[in-house]
Amino acid sequence: MNLLPVKSAIATLTMTFAAIVSATFVYAQPSVTAIAAPVVSQSWIKTTIPGSAVSAAYMQIKSAAPFKLIKAESSAAGIVEIHDMKMNAGVMEMKALDAIDVPANKAVALKPGGMHVMLMNVKKPINKGDKIPMTLTFEGANKKTVLVTLELVARESAAAGH
Ligand SMILES: [Cu+2]
């Protein structure tokens, strides 16, 4: 019999907690939708050269709010990294980047000879017209991340390297 008041106290607490949670949720909802995810266009991926298990993906990224591209993943490759290429003493050098800055309203181009998403340990040859899935993780100024999924169509590229 003594348990009854305790139980109802718990019930009251639970209800209060639920009210707080739903109030927060309602408040948070508009701010989540206010920051739109970056828009990726003109995306494509290079066909693999026979005997080679590397490829590179290119695209244009544009966003109304500042973001950083912090990660790229694809089920088609064992390793996916964000790379940049620079001429160093007459030699093209490639290096891994931690992130690519995407400023507000300024298109960022990943293109042959420049920044690219590098795929290594590609699981099977990528042929012309193949569709390769990719997921990009962008981090906003608020440190929240958004995922953008792509389907990259494979194209042959005359450009050497990546
Ligand atoms: Cu590379």
Give the tens place of pLDDT for each residue, 20-45: 444 444 444 444 455 789 999 999 99
Cα 89 to middle of ligand 1, angstroms: 18
Cα 132 to middle of ligand 1, angstroms: 17
Cα 55 to middle of ligand 1, angstroms: 8
* Contact by Cβ (8 Å): 146, 37: yes
Who contacts 10 (Cβ-Cβ below 8 Å, separation ≥6)?
A: none
Q: At 112, list the tokens.
A: 């042959």
Q: What is the pLDDT along the chain (162 residues), one digit of tens a residue?
A: 444 455 544 444 444 444 444 444 444 444 445 578 999 999 999 999 999 999 999 999 999 999 999 999 999 999 999 999 988 899 989 999 999 999 999 999 999 999 999 999 999 999 999 999 999 999 999 999 999 999 999 999 876 556
Please state the pTM of the whole predicted model. 0.76
